Structure 1
Amino acid sequence: MKKFVLIAAAICCGLLAACSAPSPELYANEKPALDVQDYFNGTLDAHGMFQDRSGKVVKRFVVVMNCHWKGDVGVLDEDFVYSDGTRQKRVWTLQKTGPGRFSATAADVVGTAEGVVEGNALRWSYVLALPVDGKIINMKMDDWMFLIDERVMLNRTEMSKFGVNLGSVTLSFTKRAPAAK
């Protein structure tokens, strides 16, 4: 019996390890390297969709982001327009906390978001308070952003509650070219 328990425990540990997310360090050598303060500076346009856990597209949306930095503090002012006509605003305040490390807050973020940059990747971990059917539900967000080139970034976010996947967000960002002088 003891041998069976040990084997079962080893199998469970292996399965859990197989389900763990990749670490940002995996992308340390990927190019182009992401400079958060440079990329999120100016105006960006984003297009995205939310899919429920079955993969069904529930909402589509567009976002205009106006971003600026003063030293190590940045503001990302986001204006969302959803496919059903509803609008939302989210203003992030970012703080560079060390090389490749950022923290962020927003009115609907519970506590502080923590971000890590390696190579072309940025991973954010945070809890978002989302309105669902008249209630506020705190969702764990595992947010990955990948810089494709100097203007385009792709974003994939997995949303969960108590470890159960509730859906995902897919988003593309395009940085507007600076205005000609």
Structure 2
Amino acid sequence: MKLKKMLAAAFGALLLTGCAGVEVSDYRAETPRLDLQEYFKGRLDAQGMFQDRSGRVVKRFKVIIQASWKGDVGTLDEDFTYSDGTKQRRVWTLVRQADGSYTGRADDVVGEARGELAGNALRWRYVLALPVDGKVYHVDFDDWMFLMDDKVMLNRSAMSKFGFELGQVTLSFTRQD
């Protein structure tokens, strides 16, 4: 009986700590301050990799991004080249909201991406329609970006389905202007 109570208490503590998480507002005092419309303009080059849930690097890629803004509406035209030679294009349309948050759409994004910004950090959450072996899976992305200086931003994304982690995407952006 004592063991059951200890296990129940441990499980309850695990659930409570699992609910606590990092919020984008935790970075509000961090510098340099990220201005999305300033950082994402002109040409950016990026390099990244996808790791499966065991940590094995499954795919590497490079991205060339052409970014522009008209008022509060931005376009990120992304050309991917993967380590296996395949290519992909994604065009994001970003919209700055009155509260300072952002929304985003792209052809392979299901619904709308939601972005929160504070200090040097940006957090995007969205569902991506991901083709794998002839099937398309809707995968949740929790995407964190951190501005390091006026040229470099680091990005780490957790991919999950039904709450189970599938892998991580790590990416480094470099402004070319």
Is the structural similarity TM-score above 0.5? yes
* Paired letter, 2:145: M
1:26 equivalenced with 2:26 (yes/no): yes
Distance in 2 between the 1:52 and 1:165 partners? 9
What is the root-mean-square deviation of aligned Cα atoms in Å? 1.7
Is the alpha carbon distance of 1:158 and 1:14 closer, same or farther for their aligned partners in structure 2, counting shifts above 3 Å?
same
Residue 50 of structure 1: SS of its match in structure 2? strand
1:17 and 1:124 mapped to 2: Cα distance? Answer: 24
TM-score between both structures, scaled by the size of structure 1? 0.91
Aligned to 2:13: 14
5 Å matches for 1:152-167? 152-167=152-167
- Residue 15 of structure 1 deviates from its aligned partner by 1.5
* Paired residues of 1:100 and 1:118 also in contact (CA < 8 A): no
Name the residue aligned to 2:58. Answer: 58
In the alignment, residue 138 of structure 1 is paired with which amino acid?
Answer: H
Q: Which residue of 1 aligns with 2:133?
A: 133
8 Å Cα contact 1:28-1:120 kept in structure 2? yes
Instruction: Give, as a single letter, the amino acid of the residue that structure 2 aligns with 1:63.
Output: V
Equivalences for 1:159-178 in 2 at 5 Å? 159-177=159-177
Unpaired runs of 5+ in structure 2?
Answer: none
1:114 to partner: Cα distance: 0.1
Report the CA distance between 1:168 and its aligned residue.
0.6
Number of residue equivalences: 174
Amino acid paired to 1:95: V
How far residue 16 of structure 1 moved from its aligned partner, in angstroms, is: 2.8
Partner of 2:143: 143
Shift of 1:11: 4.3
Residue-by-residue CA offset, 1:143-167 (whole Å, 9 max, x unaligned) = 0000000000000000000010000
SS in 2 for 1:98: coil
Question: What is the alpha-carbon distance in structure 2 between the residues aligned to residue 118 and residue 159 of structure 1?
Answer: 22
TM superposition outliers: structure 1 runs of 4+ over 6 Å: none
Partner of 2:81: 81
Secondary structure of 2:97 counterpart: strand
Of 20-29 and 148-157, more deviation after overlay is shown by: 20-29
Q: Counterpart amino acid of 2:104?
A: A
1:6-49 alpha-carbon deviations (Å, 9 max, x no partner): x83x6444323323431001100000000000001111000000
The answer to whether the 8 A contact 1:66-1:76 is kept is yes
Seq. identity, %? 59
User: Deviations along 1:61-81, whole A, 9 cap, x unmatched?
Assistant: 000000000000000000000
**In 2: Cα distance, 1:21 partner to 1:146 partner:** 17
CA contact (8 A) 1:113 1:124 kept: yes
- Supply the distance in 1 between the matched residues of 2:166 and 2:21 (Cα, whole angstroms): 16
